[in-house]
Structure 1
């Protein structure tokens, strides 16, 4: 029995164009919890090793061969291995060659011609390798069946073939998903006596350069990439920098809900954009949570940065819930918290029960906070209307942005109205003291959508000043009236 027909995956096995090279057993490596930045070099699997055609390439149905008969040019021509694994040759008819190397098949054919030729010297060479049909499923972007071909390498003294490998198939299937468990890739291989299953650890290939894990594929192989049970943030970031990950110019459709300024569905294109919005120069790493927060208008001041979850659906139907702590990213620079995203992810930003006022200034400076917030300033100011100020700016800055008090203003205090996301509203009187810095009593931090009402001095109420309000504020002011905040 040829080696290709033995159900085994030992280190000495050599099987046909999609055969195995020696497998080195190695323990699983666990990454230390260190930050892996997008500036790190991309991890590349090594190129597939060439196979010595004469001594390693195993023949099968579909291979096209050139047979040269020494001294008998009329027999020398191209032949194709038939579906039954044989070559139909002149005089001798069918000769089974499937499962043999070219050198072995040459010897068998020569022996069959002894009754016809005095010195039967036959040399076989590979003209074109047979197509290899394999299937891949699980955490891969385009699961399904694929046909792959071998590539011939010919030189002065080299006659070899590069056969398809596991990583080449993964790349052809548009890469792994973020949920893929690379340590437990399973390859099922059919043999004449049944099937065998081999588990491959692609982390050994990507981290240690163990080329034995990049299995040479064989016709009929089935590959399954399972979903990981636990998300390792370090491994998640490292996974995106390999050349078997999802192509980074692939559009990602995600949804973001909770404490962001513009929740909803989004399509993200990573890298520099062409005029049509598609990626021209993709980055080396997939879009991350930070990118999603930026395109959704940034977080609100009520966002709980320690309680962000990514909900991810795996290809086996199971849901993953991944928690990240953006406060660690903000304070200690732990970029591992900035999880790379994949198509279909839903990001949920929880609402803090009580915002930590000591942290508001730090979070306002973050790249995932909005660049500006809009505050309404109505009543007796020089330029009433909506003003754009920096996140977490104090109340005084909102007044200054509207030109400050006019001559009719009551300057002792103003009314701060805040509409909460749950539909409730709060109203408080703030005693104005421009000599004081930011503080909760006289100069509190503003939130997006806040309204500052400056009343008229004397006996006149706010209603007397409605005529000076600009059109953009009329809608917001009407909402305040409906809520009973102003009359």
Structure 2
């Protein structure tokens, strides 16, 4: 195999790499009549494994891992920072650098193995906190609803109209607002965005509870966790006021051969009225 190298006459090999070109600012499409996209290009970070292909000199090709300090080492060019760059930006940078050694180089950069995603979720979620989700074996990146499932599901007062994601993208903090009701009611998959490393998801609290929406949410695969007991306090004109633990109802679906489907806890009162007396009842979910 013959490697073709090209150098300018009288030009010595540079000892220092040219600086990485500045990042382009994230375009604000809202002022141009477009909706802000909820998807952003993948940015590189420590732990990513990439493959660099350089033609016509195959000796410069190979797979490389980004180091913990966000730098990358490739043959001939040495070590340089790539933290926060997109694959497109790194391709352009490597093409520019290899032009010093190869005539009309064709450089491609591909993601072989992405780093594990460290995500945070807070608010009206059963198990808030930080989650480390590995991406292995050609798996797709997790979505918002998959992280909600991983975190134990939503609470009964979750506001799905204003779910927010805070994302670091090319030195800026982007705030994405999602309406998961559009996913549950209308099937809009664009609301179920794929997550990126470092995303922070916040589920706010709704002020007015709609019982109909609560029942609908219990049927969604990312909604309420129907297998948990809840505490209910009953006070007022009742025989036995106090705190009660209510467990989910178990309904066997016909033809399911014993498979049990859980329903959210429901309290049914049978009230008899005597001589037009009215009973006053207040319920508070603890």
Q: 2:187 aligns with which of 209, 223, 227?
A: 209
Question: For the Cα contact (< 8 Å) 1:151–1:163, is it kept in 2?
Answer: no
C-alpha deviation, 1:72, in angstroms: 4.4
C-alpha deviation, 1:307, in angstroms: 4.3
Could you list the per-position Cα deviations for residues 401-423 of structure 1 after superposition, in whole angstroms to 9, with x for gaps in the alignment? xxxxxxxxxxxxxxxxxxxxxxx
Equivalent in the alignment of 1:68? 53
Q: Residue 21 in 1 paired to residue 43 in 2? A: no
C-alpha deviation, 1:127, in angstroms: 1.3
Equivalent in the alignment of 1:271? 250
| CA–CA distance in structure 2, aligned partners of residues 191 and 85 of structure 1 | 15
Structure 1 length-normalised TM: 0.45
1:284-363 maps to which residues of 2 (within 5 A)?
285-290=263-268, 307-312=280-285, 345=286
Structure with bigger gyration radius: 1
Structure 2 length-normalised TM: 0.71
Equivalent in the alignment of 2:156? 178
C-alpha deviation, 1:177, in angstroms: 0.5
C-alpha deviation, 1:165, in angstroms: 2.2
Q: 2:197 aligns with which of 219, 224, 233?
A: 219
Q: Equivalent residue of 1:177, what SS? A: coil
Q: Equivalent residue of 1:230, what SS? A: coil
1:88-487 maps to which residues of 2 (within 5 A)?
88-150=73-135, 162-191=140-169, 194-248=172-226, 250-255=227-232, 257=234, 259=238, 265-266=244-245, 268-271=247-250, 281-283=260-262, 285-290=263-268, 307-312=280-285, 345=286
Question: For the Cα contact (< 8 Å) 1:133–1:145, is it kept in 2?
Answer: yes
Count of aligned positions = 253
C-alpha deviation, 1:173, in angstroms: 0.9
Unaligned 5+ segments in structure 1 are: 15-19, 23-55, 154-160, 274-278, 294-298, 313-344, 346-487
Alpha carbons of 1:83 and 1:6: their partners in 2 closer, same or farther (altered >3 Å)?
farther
| CA–CA distance in structure 1, aligned partners of residues 78 and 169 of structure 2 | 27
Question: For the Cα contact (< 8 Å) 1:114–1:120, is it kept in 2?
Answer: yes
C-alpha deviation, 1:310, in angstroms: 3.0
Equivalent in the alignment of 1:6? 26
| CA–CA distance in structure 2, aligned partners of residues 108 and 67 of structure 1 | 12
C-alpha deviation, 1:204, in angstroms: 1.9
Equivalent in the alignment of 1:408? none
Q: Equivalent residue of 2:219, what SS? A: coil
Q: Equivalent residue of 1:175, what SS? A: coil
| CA–CA distance in structure 1, aligned partners of residues 214 and 141 of structure 2 | 30
| CA–CA distance in structure 2, aligned partners of residues 245 and 12 of structure 1 | 27
| CA–CA distance in structure 1, aligned partners of residues 88 and 27 of structure 2 | 23
Q: Equivalent residue of 1:251, what SS? A: coil
| CA–CA distance in structure 2, aligned partners of residues 9 and 89 of structure 1 | 36
Question: For the Cα contact (< 8 Å) 1:21–1:215, is it kept in 2?
Answer: yes
State the structure with bigger RCO (CA 8 A, min sep 6), 1 or 2: 2
C-alpha deviation, 1:236, in angstroms: 1.7
Alpha carbons of 1:116 and 1:126: their partners in 2 closer, same or farther (altered >3 Å)?
same
Q: Equivalent residue of 1:206, what SS? A: helix
Question: For the Cα contact (< 8 Å) 1:62–1:82, is it kept in 2?
Answer: yes
Alpha carbons of 1:134 and 1:209: their partners in 2 closer, same or farther (altered >3 Å)?
same
Equivalent in the alignment of 2:11? none
| CA–CA distance in structure 2, aligned partners of residues 194 and 97 of structure 1 | 16
Question: For the Cα contact (< 8 Å) 1:8–1:196, is it kept in 2?
Answer: no
| CA–CA distance in structure 1, aligned partners of residues 228 and 251 of structure 2 | 13
| CA–CA distance in structure 2, aligned partners of residues 181 and 122 of structure 1 | 47
Pairwise CA RMSD: 3.6
Question: For the Cα contact (< 8 Å) 1:87–1:94, is it kept in 2?
Answer: yes
Equivalent in the alignment of 2:14? none
| CA–CA distance in structure 1, aligned partners of residues 272 and 67 of structure 2 | 71
| CA–CA distance in structure 1, aligned partners of residues 267 and 134 of structure 2 | 39
C-alpha deviation, 1:98, in angstroms: 4.0
C-alpha deviation, 1:128, in angstroms: 1.1
Equivalent in the alignment of 2:8? none
